[in-house]
């Protein structure tokens, strides 16, 4: 009987404990703040999510800005929007790589807003945006973000594809003439690959696509390749041009199996003739060396005969 009473007591205690835990969970859930949104899942599809806020103020729409003044907060928002647009543009133009050309406006916006923040030191602490934004935390997120964007731009040598000038403290980016010329030559070469890549030539019987491209596009390809090397020596190449030329070379060599040697058949024949003539010249030289005494002796007899006749 004692054992039965003890078991019943344990069962009632466990039931009360579970009810207390459930009540506490409901209380915490009702007092918690939640934020809902969407994110990209591992399969690429958007999925909804729901997360709990760390504190109530982080769930409010009007988040406290701390010691940042309204004017400085406006600059911070502008910098946030500018950097987001640049990163989006860069990633979108990563393949094929064309972000130097297509993202220069976004890069200029980032530079302009950062300069406003950097130069805004103000007369007092409340108007010193440089201190409030750039030196507000130990991580220095704004400065680190700006340095990351500079790293991408400088690593790609994007400035080398532009003529950069400055007007009213604003940098102006204009595509260099060498950049425009090389891009046009590469585009003409790729268009030729596309036109003759099927092996169809008007007025001729359908041929092997590789041979057709190698024959009809060799001049355009070699001109683009030669001008690329010229621009490279002048240090005016950026990642856009390098990437475009690399893909053109891959198409020429790997896809269509063409050879750069085809650019000047005359030079090839001259070199081949010289190589084939070397054995002949070698044999003539060896024979002359082996019969040197005979040749000199014969000439000596002739001279001796003339001397005898003179006597």
* pLDDT at residue 168, as a whole number: 81
Q: Is the dihedral of CA 282, 284, 288, 294 positive or negative?
A: positive
Is 80 exceeded by the pLDDT of residue 181? yes
CB atoms closer than 10 angstroms to residue 182: 24
Q: What residue has token string 């005898």?
A: 308
Is 50 exceeded by the pLDDT of residue 190? yes
Task: Point out the least confidently predicted range of 22-36, 76-90, 108-122, 226-240.
Answer: 22-36
Is 70 exceeded by the pLDDT of residue 287? no
How does the average pLDDT of the chain come out, rounded?
Answer: 77
* pLDDT at residue 63, as a whole number: 44
Mean pLDDT throughout 250-265?
Answer: 75
0.85 exceeded by pTM = no
Is 60 exceeded by the pLDDT of residue 260? yes
What digits encode the pLDDT tens for the residues 96-126? 999 999 999 999 999 999 999 999 887 676 6
Residues paired with residue 161 on neighbouring β-strands, in sequence order? none
CA angle 118, 120, 126 (to 5 degrees): 125
Is 50 exceeded by the pLDDT of residue 145? yes
Q: What residue has token string 């004692």?
A: 2
Instruction: Output 278 or 235, whichever has higher pLDDT.
Output: 235
38: number of CA atoms within 13 Å, CB side? Answer: 5
Mean pLDDT throughout 7-32?
Answer: 48
Core vs surface per residue 48-72: b (16+ CB within 10 A) or e = eeeeeeeeeeeeeeeeeeeebbeeb
Mean pLDDT throughout 15-36?
Answer: 51
* pLDDT at residue 198, as a whole number: 75
What digits encode the pLDDT tens for the residues 212-247? 888 889 999 999 999 999 999 999 999 999 999 999
| pLDDT classification of 307: cutoffs 50, 70, 90 | very low
CA distances from 259 to 13, 248, 262 (A): 87, 13, 6
Mean pLDDT throughout 2-27?
Answer: 49
Distance of alpha carbon 189 from alpha carbon 140, whole angstroms: 47
* pLDDT at residue 239, as a whole number: 96
* pLDDT at residue 276, as a whole number: 66
Which of 174, 149, 161, 154 is CA-nearest to residue 240?
Answer: 161
Contact 110, 158 (CB under 8 A): no
Is 70 exceeded by the pLDDT of residue 7? no
* pLDDT at residue 139, as a whole number: 86
Task: Point out the least confidently predicted range of 116-125, 144-153, 268-277.
Answer: 268-277
């Amino acid at each position: 009987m004692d054992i039965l009473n003890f078991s019943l007591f344990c069962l009632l205690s466990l039931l009360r404990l579970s009810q207390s835990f459930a009540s506490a969970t409901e209380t915490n859930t009702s007092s918690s703040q939640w934020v809902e949104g969407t994110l990209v899942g591992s399969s690429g599809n958007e999925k909804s999510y729901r997360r709990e806020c760390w504190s109530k103020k982080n769930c409010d729409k009007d988040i406290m800005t701390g010691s940042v003044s309204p004017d400085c907060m406006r600059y911070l928002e502008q910098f946030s929007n500018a950097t987001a647009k640049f990163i989006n543009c860069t990633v979108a133009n990563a393949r094929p790589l064309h972000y130097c050309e297509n993202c220069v406006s976004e890069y200029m916006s980032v530079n302009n807003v950062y300069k406003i923040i950097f130069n805004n030191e103000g007369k007092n602490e409340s108007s010193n945006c440089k201190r409030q934004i750039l030196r507000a935390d130990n991580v220095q997120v704004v400065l680190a973000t700006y340095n990351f964007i500079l790293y991408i731009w400088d690593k790609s040598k994007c400035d080398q594809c532009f003529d950069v000038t400055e007007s009213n403290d604003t940098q102006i980016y204009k595509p260099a003439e060498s950049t425009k010329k090389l891009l046009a030559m590469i585009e003409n070469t790729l268009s030729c690959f596309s036109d003759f890549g099927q092996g169809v030539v008007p007025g001729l019987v359908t041929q092997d696509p590789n041979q057709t491209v190698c024959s009809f596009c060799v001049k355009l390809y070699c001109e683009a390749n030669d001008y690329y090397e010229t621009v490279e020596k002048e240090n005016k190449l950026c990642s856009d041009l390098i990437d475009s030329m690399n893909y053109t070379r891959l198409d020429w060599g790997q896809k269509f199996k063409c050879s750069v040697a085809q650019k000047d058949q005359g030079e090839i024949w001259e070199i081949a003739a010289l190589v084939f003539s070397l054995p002949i010249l070698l044999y003539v030289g060896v024979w002359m060396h082996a019969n040197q005494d005979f040749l000199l002796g014969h000439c000596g007899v002739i001279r001796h005969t003339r001397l005898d006749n003179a006597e």
